[in-house]
Amino acid sequence: MSRIIDKTAAELAADIREGRLTSVEVTTAFLDRIAAVDGTVKAFLHVDRDGALATAAEVDAAVAAGEELGPLAGVPVAIKDVVVTKGLPTTAASKILEGWIPPYDATIVERIKAAKLPILGKTNMDEFAMGSSTEYSAYFKTLNPWDTGRIPGGSGGGSAAAVAAKMAPLAIGTDTGGSIRQPGAVTGTFGAKPTYGGNSRYGLIAFSSSLDTPGPVSRNALDGALLHEVISGHDPRDSTSIDAPVPPVVEAARLGATGDLSGVKLGVVKEFKEGADAAEPGVIAAYEAGIEQLVELGAEIVEVSCPSFTYALPTYYLIAPSEASSNLARYDGVRYGLRAGDDGKKSLEEVMSLTREAGFGPEVKRRIILGTYALSAGYVDAFYGKAQKVRTLIKQDFERAFEQVDALISPTTPFIAFEFGARTGDPYQMYLADLYTIPTNMYGGPGVSVPVGLSEGMPVGLQVMGPVLGDDITYRVAAALESTQDVLLADTAPEIEGI
Amino acid sequence: MSTISREEVAHLARLARLEVTDDELDAFAGQLDVILQSMKTLAEVDTDGVQPTSHAVPLVNVFREDQPQPSLPRDAVLAGGPDTAEDRFRVPRILDEEA
C-alpha cells in the first residue's frame, strides 16, 4: 500500500483538490515522517508544525467551500534557511544570525503562501550557501539518506535530503554555483536552477548577487516544474528580475513524460569529456547509459566545443568571493544577529571584528579574505576584472552552442556523495564538486539535475543546461529521461539506517 | 613560491574586520595559496578587447514610479538588533577620545 509520503506532489495536490485526502492529513504525514527520521538525517534547522497545520486547515476549509485552488495548494514544502521567512527563524546556517526572526517574507515565500503550500520548516545548508557538503553549517551536518556516512551535497543538502528521505515532497533551494543541482545529484532527487532573473532574489540572504538563483527541489521534473511556476515571475522589488513571461515548464515536463525527444538536439561539451579524468568512472558510466536512453527516445547528440568552460572554476572563485566579501559586510553586529565583545570599553571597530570572528565559520572567512584580496587595489584588474572578462567568454561559448543545439548535457557533478571529512582539509577539492554546474551560473541560463543511475549504490545525476529563458527544454529532457525508469530513482532509496 | 604570505592574509583579515586567530592565519595562508595558484591559469586566457560581464542578464536603469510605499514597522526592525535604545540601534563608541 502506498503511503502518503510516497506520492508525488502532483498526486497529492490532486488528492487534496478532489477530496480524497485532506491537506491536514498530508501535512501531518510529512511532519510525522520528520519526527521519525530527522533525528538521524538532520535536514531541518527549524520545524514549524503549528504554522504548517494552520495553512493546511485553511486549504481544507477552502476545498470544503468549493473555492478555486492553485495547482499545489495544500502540498507542504520545506525552505532553505537562506530564504527569509517572516516570524520563522532564519540563520543561513550561520551563528552570526542565530536567533534572528525576519520581519518580512522573501517574494518567493509570499508566493508560496499565496498559493497555500504549508511551510514545514527551514532546511540546513552550508553557512551562507558556501560549500558542497553541509559540513560548513554552523549547527550540524545533514546526512545523506542513501548512506548516512556520506554527505548530502551542498550547499542545499538539507532541502535535498528532506526530499530524498520523504520528509517533504517539495523544497526550495538556491543555486550560486551548483547548490541546488549537486545536492540533487548525490541524493537522487530532481533540482532546478532557473534562468537568473526568472525568480526573485528579494529576501534571499545574499551570497553572490550576480549568480544567486532560487529554485525547486523535488522527486521528479513535473513536481519541480509545478513549484517553479508558483515562485517564478517578475518582481519589481528585485531590479535584476526579468520582466518576461515565465517559461512553460509544467507543459514541458508533461511533454517530456511522453518519452518523445525526436527532433531535439543535445550537445555534449567536448572540453568536459577531455577533463573527464576529474569525474569518477562510475559517474561517467551512468551518464553515458543516460545518453543512450536519450538517443533511444529520439534525441540527436552533437559534440560542441566550449573552450572557456575549462576556466569556469577559477573564474567563479574570483567573482563569487568578491561579491560575498561585499555582501557579508552587512554583518557588523549592529542591526541584526550576534554582537560579541561589547564590554562598554571596546570601540565599534573592535566589536565588529570580534563579532565577525565569533559569528563566521572557516569557509565564510576564507571566502571573505579571498574576495577582499581579489578586489584590493593593485589586484582588482588582474583578478576580478580578468574573471569578469573570462565570464564573457563563457557566456559566448553557451550562446554559440545554443545556435547548434537545444540544450547541453553533462554529468551534474564529478563524483558520487563522498564520505564526511574527505574534502574539508583542502578547500579546492571541495570546490571541484561544482566543476560542471558553475558554467551555467556564469552564463545565467537554466540547468537541472535529474537522477540517471547509480554508481557504487549511490545516485548519479545528469545535468541539462538550456539557453536563457529556455527553462522549458531542461524540464522536457529531464522528464523524458525519467520516463525510461520503471520506478523513479528517487523512490529506490534504501530505508534510513537507525530508525 | 607561495602567492600569498601569512602577513598578507593578516592584513586582508584586518581590512575585512575579521579578528582571526594565529591558527586560522596559518591554515588560511596555505589554503588560499592553493586556490590562488589555480586562478593563475586565467592569465593564459586571451581577453584582449573582451568586455567584462558583471551581470548575467543585461538590464540597465530599472526604475519604478516614485510613489511612497509603507516601510517595515520600526519596532519589528529594531527587534532584530542586538542592542537598541530610544527607538534606535545602540552601537559601541565610535570615537577614540573619552566621552
Q: Which three cell numbers stand for residue A397?
A: 561559448
DSSP-derived secondary structure for A358-423: HHS-HHHHHHHHHHHHHHSTTTTIIIIIHHHHHHHHHHHHHHHHHHH-SEEEEESSSSSPPBTTSS
Q: What residue numbers bound the domain in which A135 lies? A: 4-269+403-492
3-state secondary structure of A472: helix
**pLDDT tens track for A124-140:** 999 999 999 999 999 99
A297 part of a folded domain: no
Mean pLDDT of A411-419: 97
**pLDDT tens track for B62-78:** 888 899 989 999 999 99
The reply to whether residue A427 touches residue B34, judged by beta carbons under 8 angstroms, is: yes
| CA-based nearest residue in chain A for residue B40 | A314
Question: Which are the contacts of A497, defined by CB distance < 8 A and separation ≥ 6?
Answer: A40, A148
Beta bridge partners of A454: A459
**pLDDT tens track for A440-460:** 999 999 999 999 999 999 999
A453 CB neighbour count, 10 Å cutoff: 20
Enumerate the residues of chain A whose CB falls inside 8 A of the CB of residue B56. Answer: 196-197, 210-211, 395, 441-444, 468
A362 part of a folded domain: no
Phi and psi (nearest 5°) for A492? -105, 10
Q: What is the Cα–Cα distance from B62 to A435, expressed in whole angstroms?
A: 33
Spans in chain B with pLDDT lower than 50: 99
| CA-based nearest residue in chain B for residue A329 | B16
A311 part of a folded domain: no
A322 CB neighbour count, 10 Å cutoff: 24
Sign of dihedral through CA atoms A387, A392, A398, A400?
Answer: negative
Q: How many domains does chain A have?
A: 1
**pLDDT tens track for A245-302:** 999 999 999 999 999 999 999 999 999 877 656 799 999 999 999 999 999 999 999 9
DSSP B17: T
A171 part of a folded domain: yes
For B20, the closest of A342, A348, A357 (CB atoms) is: A357
A127 part of a folded domain: yes
At A489 the pLDDT is: 87
pLDDT exceeds 80 at position A498: no
> Looking at this predicted complex, what is its ipTM?
0.93
**pLDDT tens track for A317-354:** 999 999 999 999 999 999 999 999 999 999 999 999 99
Mean pLDDT of A139-165: 98
For B32, the closest of A342, A370, A393 (CB atoms) is: A370
Catalytic residues of A: 80, 155, 179
Q: What is the Cα–Cα distance from A251 to A150, expressed in whole angstroms?
A: 36
| CA-based nearest residue in chain B for residue A328 | B16
| A residues 291..350 contacting B (CB < 8 A) | 308, 311, 313-315, 317-318, 325, 329, 332-339, 342, 344, 346-350
| Distances from the Cα of A410 to the Cα of A144, A270, A288, A329, B65, angstroms | 23, 10, 9, 36, 44
Q: What is the mean pLDDT of chain A?
A: 96
pLDDT exceeds 60 at position A314: yes
Q: Model pTM greater than 0.90?
A: yes
Enumerate the residues of chain B whose CB falls inside 8 A of the CB of residue A441. Answer: 56
Question: Position of cell 492553485?
Answer: A70
At B57 the pLDDT is: 81
**pLDDT tens track for A53-72:** 999 999 999 999 999 999 99
Confidence of residue A428 (pLDDT cuts 50, 70, 90): confident
The reply to whether residue B72 touches residue A314, judged by beta carbons under 8 angstroms, is: no
A65 part of a folded domain: yes
Please provide the CATH number assigned to the domain covering B6-42. 1.10.20
A283 part of a folded domain: no
